[in-house]
Amino acid sequence: MSQDDKSSFLDRIGNAAFLAVIRLAKLLPYEQRIPAVGWLFANLLAPIAGWRGRVRDNLALARPDLSADEVTELTRAVPNNAGRSVAEIYSGEEFTRRIHQTEPLDGPGLPALEEAFENHRPVIIACAHFGNYDAMRAALAGRGYPVGALYRPMNNEAFNQHYIPAIHAIAEPLFPRGRAGLTSMLRFLKGGGWLALGFDQYDRHSPELRYFDLPSRTVLTPAELALRYDALLVPVHAIRQPDGLSFQVHVGDPIPHSEPQEMMQALNDDLEMLVRRHMGQWFWVHRRWK
């Protein structure tokens, strides 16, 4: 068996296992399904995938003040939140209906969003791997806002066959990374669309800014697009509530237009404040510092 055939075989096995879990979970009522998948991620997937070690390593860098018990708790809370988010994505209509019914949007930047909508002004929504990113998309779409997003197709092609339709069902439009997706995305933005862009992953081609007072290369794209298209730049994050099922979608203060690095540093600072308040909801598995 060639290396490509072996990779394809392992992809199919992994995809089949994932679908089996999701299908079993869907036999449960929503209120039980979401925490059940969170438990599976925290107790089965995280140890196998090495997530707990990555969480510990990142916390040792960014939060060396935490106690051993606090770190242990976060090695479970982080994958639990990730598992809940996956279960919510694959709960489709149930998930979006709950978001639309609760009207969870609030925060000091909400009036600026409403003004941009009335004036057909483009908006760059700066978001992160925090809480549930798709809850944010669902909440904005539920208000009738024209929110689109850029996404990266998974390397596992079998997984994409169900993952991409699942995220499309929550809100549209979506633009895949690549030349065609980029062209469509820019056309959408020029026409007054709103574009959700992540900024919280390490990018080796980007300048070194600060995050948790550590050097971390941060993309400038959200700020650069905001300047190029005179778009509002605003941080929006979906904060999972104590019941583990509902969300508060917080719209932060718009970032004033200035130099791109200054704008992105402001977003890093804003996200850090939020993460410090909800440590278990940011995806500490990412290799943010290298």
Asked if residue 179 belongs to a domain, the reply is yes
116 plus 75 within the same structural domain = no
Q: How far apart are CA 177 and CA 196, in angstroms?
A: 13
Q: Is 239 a domain residue?
A: yes
Say whether both 127 and 61 belong to one domain: no
Does the pLDDT at position 6 exceed 60? Answer: no
| pLDDT at residue 146, rounded to an integer | 94
Domain assignment present for residue 95? The answer is no
pLDDT in tens, 143-173: 999 999 988 888 778 888 898 899 989 989 9
Is 124 found in the same domain as 63? no
Instruction: Judge whether 290 lies within some domain.
Output: no
| Same domain, residue pair 85 and 123 | no
Residues 70 and 108 in one domain: no
Same domain, 126 and 249: yes
Q: 25, 55, 90 — which closes off a domain?
A: 90
Q: Residues 117, 248: one domain?
A: yes
Question: Rounded distance, CA 105 to CA 140, Å?
Answer: 8
Does some domain include residue 97? no
123-151 burial string, b = 16+ CB within 10 Å, else e? bbbbbbbbbbbbbbbbbbbbeebbbbbbb
Whole-angstrom distance, CA of residue 33 vs CA of residue 24:
9
Residues 114 and 32 occupy one common structural domain:
no
Q: Is residue 163 part of a domain?
A: yes
CATH code of the domain in which 221 resides: 3.40.1130.10
**Whole-number pLDDT of residue 69:** 98
Of the three residues 32, 67, 90, the one that is the final residue of a domain is 90
Please indicate, yes or no, if residue 289 is contained in any of the structural domains. no
Rounded distance between C-alpha atoms, residue 189 and residue 173, angstroms: 11
Q: Calculate the CA 215 to chain-centre distance.
A: 22
Cβ atoms of 150 and 177 closer than 8 Å: yes
Is pLDDT above 50 for 3? no
Residues 269 and 147 in one domain: yes
Are 115 and 230 members of one domain? yes
Domain of residue 244, residue span: 102-282
Strand 214-217 vs strand 208-211: parallel, antiparallel, or unpaired? antiparallel
Name the domain boundary from 35, 69, 90: 90
- Summary mean pLDDT of the chain: 93
What is the Cα–Cα distance from 203 to 46, expressed in whole angstroms?
Answer: 24
Whether residues 122 and 246 share a domain: the answer is yes
- Residue 218 pLDDT greater than 50, yes or no: yes
Q: How many domains does the chain have?
A: 2
- 1 pLDDT more than 90: no
User: Looking at the structure, do residues 83 and 165 belong to the same domain, yes or no?
Assistant: no
Residue 11 has pLDDT above 80, yes or no: no
Q: Tell me the average pLDDT across 221-245.
A: 97
* 246: in domain: yes
